[in-house]
Amino acid sequence: MEQRELTIHGRRLKYRIGGKGPLVLLIHGMAGSASTWKQVMPALSERFTVLAPDLLGHGDSDKTKGDYSLGAMASTLRDLIVALGYERATVVGQSYGGGIAMQFVYQYPERCERLVLVDAGGLGTEVNPVLRWLTMPGAEAVLLVGCAPPVRRIVETIGRVAFRKKLENATVIPELWRSYSSLGDVEGRRAFLRTLRAVIDPRGQSVNAHEKLHLAAGIPTLIIWGEDDGIIPVEHAHAAHATIQGSWLEIIEGVGHYPHCEAPERFVDSLTEFIESTRPARIKVSQKRILSTPPPPVAAESN
């Protein structure tokens, strides 16, 4: 996967791209980066063109003060796709990235061939209490202490000693460590808190896509969820599946919030089967709709 950068409206955006075929856009979660997809990008790039950006405020992209709402993130991804010369993509979003993916479909349905939600945010109020607590005043000061280099070294040492055997097979630990380490600089912390507070408040998730989910009925949709997700409960997956007409549902046992890290082969197989078994949506701009009834579903191609 080749790493490149592009300046969009004066802000530098890093992204990784590789492969050939239909475009698959991979949107990472909060405090993450394109690196979260590294275990699945090589296999996916054998059949598809894979595009994985570092969202603004994340990874190696700019972390300047600005709009970190879901709508602003979706607009930036639309601009990235257009700038690279692509018309449409299968849009895959994990956690916070799932909320962006749903917003992308709502704002730009004509550019979405399929929607894939991976342990996605924005489908209910329930979320891990730690994230709710971090939206409260004073959280930045706590993060300043908790993510300082000496503290990170202590946490790393204790973790290696206390969980040595578990760490040998815990593929998700590096992802959690990257997220934690990304908060070590002041710009990263501030961008994280702006992003967090755009979608979560002390009561839970403050953005809910359910009233618009019926609009996804015209777009093939796959929902992948870890059964043991401790960040966003698996019940959100079942509720979304019941709401989105014709959606596919894949619940992976023994997996938490990061199916693409914890079960990469299963993730690739599920995503590949879904893409190759469904016909891409073709929604015209004139059909960007505020409807009281859902549009007809897109028929899947027979295997």
* Residues designated as active site: 95, 229, 257
Q: Which residues pair with 15 in a beta bridge?
A: 4, 53
- Looking up tokens 């997956």 gives 237
* Residues near 37 by beta carbon (within 8 Å), at least 6 away in sequence: 26, 28, 50, 52, 260
Residue type, 55: L
List Cβ<8 Å contacts ≥24 apart for 131-138. Answer: 131/196, 131/200, 131/231, 132/200, 132/201, 132/202, 132/203, 132/204, 133/202, 134/193, 134/196, 135/193, 135/196, 135/197, 135/200, 135/201, 135/202, 136/202
